[in-house]
Structure 1
């Protein structure tokens, strides 16, 4: 029978770290990669806690499929979905649920893993055809971070409300020239998806005659594109006094571009973002960002799927996970002198 020591040796961490990870200690300061490694090794070794060993044996274990929107390489570049996945894996492990995992870009057919599934959790964005295929594999399905219709159970964040609050905060700081750096996502290769953050940015500022089309840059949701797009923005003769960036990974790249260009944050440009990944508070300057409870989203998806399986209900549910705005060092009041200097035509 596997022990904590076995897991610690394989993961290359201390016994205390393994114990705290498997007991879901939220005060533990370790990277998402380390937490992921400990949980996956525990699953591989079929480790059982004292509580699990003393509980009565179940006649049959629930088996669910977990479909990933990102490939493993993409996940490393953007920890948002990795954190959701860790939440799914932790909750499944705690509930003794058999979890079958598959990345979107895996080289094997879905038929290889669909036998006997009680339900599916699909993390990310999928076409209607994809979702119908998942539905045919298992009658119960929960979508995470996506809600194409009211037909399916889903776990989402109200990004529209979060964007409005961010923009209201910047306007309260006297910013009236605000830029946006975001990304594009696609299903089935070439079908673009609407990004609620970008749409809300446009609608909110347009109603106030503050929207400037030249102050919007989009690419991929990666640090590399955040860096590239900010570098492009800085080449313009006039530039915003503040930027809203669609996620923290892009914001990290944007901060690097600003640093290399000698632009002081927030004295010359304020920067705000989304997600509050683990490194956001340790950046220099620390990042003002919308805290999204990604790991909780994964846990809630397992709870919702199990409730769906056990209740056999036919009416769908949508769970909207709350958020908070973490005000840190990367944003502040507008510097009027610098804003006038960088205004278009100056």
Structure 2
């Protein structure tokens, strides 16, 4: 069993930093990459907090299956935040867990686990594969077609309605969309993001959908930059954009500035997720806040309830979101 000192030495950080990270101190100013490294080293070295050492024995053994790679977690820290919130909730409930990637499943651990928390988007084939190992699965931040599973999700339709209603209230009738699409290695299946789907529906109903203003790539800052640049270089672009996530919005900011335009005087931008850096870019980004801590807590509560009760009927929990208005949008009325 590792000590904080051993973890600090391996991670190359101070004892205080390790202690505060493992205790989920939100006031600590340290990068998500460093946090991730500390958590992974702690798990690898089987670190147990003093509180948990003194508490009752471990209640359950569960598996966390990541739907996103390490690179994707670092490019969009929203995914990382959800996983860390799940891990925090499990630790607080004194539940032991193991983390694995969806393309590197450990079948023995999945079969013997009391339950599985699957974080992110999974193809139908991947869902069926997980189902062969364990029937007590909670899908976190996704809603598979198979209704046998519990899930914790956000209503993207309400997210889109909040964003577009706000932009329209500022006088923006022509609105662009920059988003991404999830594809699965070695499979034909692709997952169309609900933000794009509801954006198209909303704008069609208003009679203002312009396909030239809709660009889709991957959910990364570089893709946000390239897609925004492509629209701006065309010379025909709207004065407002909804960008599918904050990481893409950061890339879009760069493209706008390189074009010699000013946010929000020339172009208004709204992101989604409210990652930690959204409030610190210039100007601070207006975005939709998705409470990742609440997602993690709810998913773990749902799994524990399912395990304890032996419930077979599935539950779907839809969590609320809120529009965080900062300085990246401007009225043109």
TM-score by length of 1: 0.88
Equivalent positions of 1:150-161 (< 5 A) are: 150-161=147-158
**SS of the residue 1:193 aligns to:** strand
Q: 1:202 aligns with which of 200, 203, 207?
A: 200
Q: C-alpha deviations, 1:246-285, integer Å up to 9, x for none?
A: 1111111111111111111100000111111111111111
For residue 72 of structure 2, what is the aligned residue in structure 1? Answer: 74
**1:27 and 2:24 correspond:** no
Q: Distance in 2 between matches of 1:37 and 1:96?
A: 22
Q: Is the 8 A contact 1:84 1:296 kept in 2?
A: no
Q: C-alpha deviations, 1:64-110, integer Å up to 9, x for none?
A: 1221111222222222211111112222233333322222344xx64
CA distance 1:104–1:146, shift in 2 (3 Å): same
Q: 1:128 aligns with which of 109, 113, 124?
A: 124
**SS of the residue 1:319 aligns to:** strand
Q: Distance in 1 between matches of 2:62 and 2:92?
A: 14
Count residues with an aligned counterpart.
Answer: 331
Q: Is the 8 A contact 2:2 2:46 kept in 1?
A: yes
For residue 173 of structure 1, what is the aligned residue in structure 2? Answer: 170
> Structure 1: any 5+ residue segments left out of the alignment?
337-346
**1:144 and 2:140 correspond:** yes
**SS of the residue 1:100 aligns to:** strand
* 202-211 or 185-194, larger mean C-alpha shift: 185-194
For residue 17 of structure 2, what is the aligned residue in structure 1? Answer: 17
Equivalent positions of 1:1-346 (< 5 A) are: 2-58=2-58, 61-106=59-104, 110-111=106-107, 113-149=109-145, 150-187=147-184, 189-334=187-332
Larger gyration radius, structure 1 or structure 2: 1
Q: Is the 8 A contact 1:118 1:139 kept in 2?
A: no
Q: Distance in 2 between matches of 1:141 and 1:244?
A: 33
TM-score by length of 2: 0.92
Aligned-CA RMSD value: 2.0
Q: Distance in 1 between matches of 2:251 and 2:103?
A: 26
> Structure 2: any 5+ residue segments left out of the alignment?
none
Q: Distance in 2 between matches of 1:89 and 1:143?
A: 15
Q: Distance in 2 between matches of 1:233 and 1:50?
A: 54
Q: Distance in 1 between matches of 2:101 and 2:49?
A: 28
For residue 342 of structure 1, what is the aligned residue in structure 2? Answer: none
Q: Distance in 2 between matches of 1:322 and 1:20?
A: 29
